[in-house]
Chain A
Amino acid sequence: MIPKRATPSAARPGPAILRRLAAAARWLASPLLPEDYLGLINPLWTAGDLCGRVEEVIPETADAATLVIRPGRGWVVHRPGQWVPIGVDIRGRRHWRTFSLSSAPGRPDGRVTITVKAMREGLVSNHLVRRTEPGTVIRLGRPEGAFVLPESPPPRLLFVTAGSGVTPVMAMLDGMLGGAPAVEGPDVVLVHSAPTPDEVIFGRRLRSLAARCPRLRLYERHTRAEGRLRPADLARLCPDWTARAVWACGPPAMLDEIAAHWTGPTDRLRVERFRLVPTVVGSGGRVCFTRSGREADADGGTSLLAVGEGAGVLMPSGCRMGICYSCVARLRSGRVRDMRTGQVHGEAGDMIQTCVSAAAGPIEIEL
């Protein structure tokens, strides 16, 4: 049987009297939860269905905006550089996407920000940038990701970013340099690419930070005029780049080149890929979701996660790029193709990642 309406508050430690009261409230609210009634007053009070309220939408460039979000009860404080799944209702349907948090953790106002660039034909990104009013309630997941700063940053850092790849780095810079810019502290280089000066997300903020803080060197690469950043340019701008701890976030081609030219220790180069690039298109097949009794035809280029969501199955999901394992489900029969590698795999009973697996023939999955 599917676990129903797990109550995260049940396990929370607290004074015995509060726990008893909470238990009594659950009896009174049965078969619902007390928070289902609390949510009538303020949706941010429902911890089981973590919500956030968009309080401000600040335009950054012509097609990017920062959303200032007040997270509801149950929010887990993130580490700078992490991303968070965001659930948005568009035309009545919930869509989940992940966005890097662009604010440092522990802001005094308790709010967090994400900075979104509207992608061409990007349903969710366009909705967030252009059609989201302050007051909108969105769903939040848990902050995740290993593209983070260590507790105590190394003495010399290099960030290589392009486009919206600067957003997780903004959270890191904010944490390291955002306060009173002390002279003491790590030495930071940021090499950021954008088509034109106007299209630099956080352009003014970064420039003023660099002007105030001698520990930060900022290089902007305006690719429309200067062309794409190459590893050779990197060596010229920052001669000791392979001796630094590097965080790189941007388009796959840029990241691949950097990785190929990297001569330093592998654990000192950290890359974050924003978009899953399916390299192989498999054969597809009939997908049977055994618990919900739904079925759907899947092509070899669509993830089982997307197929399930399209069929109305309540699919668990997280990063949607094959790293967080929030979406795993048990395969009952058939084989799947890993959309990243093209490898066909899967035996009955395997836990497979639905977000990067496509059907390779007819399959049954326990969802």
Chain B
Amino acid sequence: MPATLTSVDAEGFGRELDRIRDEVIESLGERDARYIRGLIAIQRKLELGGRALLIASWFPPAWITGTAALATAKILENMEIGHNVLHGQWDWMRDPKIHSTTWEWDTASPADQWKHSHNFVHHTWTNVLGKDRDVGYSVLRISPEQRWHPIYLAQPFYNALLALFFEYGIAIYDLELERIPSGRKDPKEALAQLRAVATKIRRQVVKDYVAFPLLAGPAFLPVLLGNLTANLARNVWAHTIIFCGHLPEGAEVFTEDRLEGETRGEWYVRQLLGSCNIDGGGLFHIMSGNLSHQIEHHLFPDLPSNRYAEIAPRIRALCERFGLPYTSGSLARQAASVWKRVLRMALPGPRQRPPATAPPVKTLGAVA
């Protein structure tokens, strides 16, 4: 049931959220700093341990545990650490080693490019068709408002491929190539970005598929395969978690008229309606980079992720009070829901309606 703005006291909702935000910021301190430093230390030790075990991978259990440790380290590095540091969640500590302006991560996208496309474009225009490029990542049809094309018949297949090579998909996606023909993107800029991506990929590839395997000597092949497995596992996991953030049943997609004169309260409501949480335990939340608290993350993208679980019950209660939906479900349910949507939207329909003909009335902004 779409929540319309007229039925909701968006400003009252926004004021309550601002209060929660202020409270969290006021209470940031030693405990939070210990959390992120401790996590970074654990992640680096896991990585070192995993790589050390892989060198001994002529012994099969060493290969399995080494690969698992490395995959876990890579997931932590990308999700709970990299993604959140690059959001500026830890900038308040003023530690140049853990700061959004100095951080670089183990993925194909250079941090600067990713920060623009993710922090600015996606988090500002969340789920607005034609503005938020993350809606379908410019290759998937995930809403009936996107015009159908026969190419989408193949989208279940290429979505699976995207999952495997997610980091490269994101890096190419950040180049905004689809904006070049219309002149909204300077091809020279795209080329410079492509060079930066290529440099980064070269380093990553040399490290995981040449340097460490060579270091292992006779275990060259098992180390290479272990590193490949860890990278693929990280990609599939990241893809799964991220797609569960905005695509399951219940997440709404908006048309551009929704943005007209949007107030802070309405922005909060749009972030809430466009995001879905995943239920799980503490370890699951950390492994998902706390994107399992996608709602809290989208309301407060720069609050430290370790605080999302703490404020989640208050946000949920607030939604109940204001009559707003708070979408949450198990990983299996949300992932199944995502795939159902990808499969359904591969076919024409259900009620094709291009955004241009969407009613310009603001209160009908929510359409999904």
- Which of A's residues lie within 8 Å of B, judged by CB? 1-2, 4-5, 24, 27-28, 30-32, 36-37, 40, 49, 89, 91-95, 291-292, 309, 312-314
Contacts and interface: CB of A to CB of B under 8 A. Distances in A.
Contacts of A312: 88, 91-92, 94
Kindly list the 6 A-B residue pairs having the minimum CB-CB distance in the complex, ordered from nearest: A92-B33, A312-B91, A31-B104, A91-B29, A94-B94, A92-B29
Interface stretch (B154-162, B199-207, B225-233, B324-332): B199-207
A27 B93 contact: no
B94 A314 contact: yes
A314 B91 contact: yes
Contact of B41 (A40, A91, A291, A313): A40
Interface stretch (B95-103, B137-145, B288-296, B358-366): B95-103
Interface in B292-348: none
Contacts of B200: 31
Contacts of B92: 92-93, 312
B45 A40 contact: yes
B264 to A, nearest CB: 15
B249 to A, nearest CB: 35
Contacts of B106: 31
B211 interface: yes
Given A28-B211, A37-B44, A5 B102 contact: yes
A49 B203 contact: no
B212 A28 contact: yes
Contacts of B212: 28
B101 A2 contact: yes
A30 B106 CA distance: 8
A313 B88 CA distance: 10
9 contacts: A5-B104, A30-B207, A36-B97, A40-B48, A49-B97, A93-B93, A313-B91, A314-B96, A314-B99
Contacts of A89: 33, 93, 95
**Most A-side CB within 10 Å, residue of B29, B101, B200, B206:** B101
Interface string B192-219: 0000000010011011000110010000
B32 interface: yes
A350 B45 CA distance: 45
A49 B212 CA distance: 27
B129 interface: no
A30 to B, nearest CB: 5
A105 to B, nearest CB: 27
B30 A30 contact: no
A247 B277 CA distance: 65
A27 B212 CA distance: 10
Contacts of B148: none
B322 to A, nearest CB: 29
Given A92-B33, A92-B93, A93-B29, 8 more contacts: A27-B211, A31-B105, A31-B203, A37-B44, A89-B33, A92-B29, A292-B101, A312-B88
Contacts of B203: 27, 30-31
B95 A94 contact: yes
A94 B29 CA distance: 11
B24 interface: no
Contacts of B31: 92
Contacts of A1: 112
B28 interface: yes
Contacts of A5: 102, 104
Nearest to A3: B102
Nearest to A89: B33
A92 B206 contact: no
A4 B100 CA distance: 11
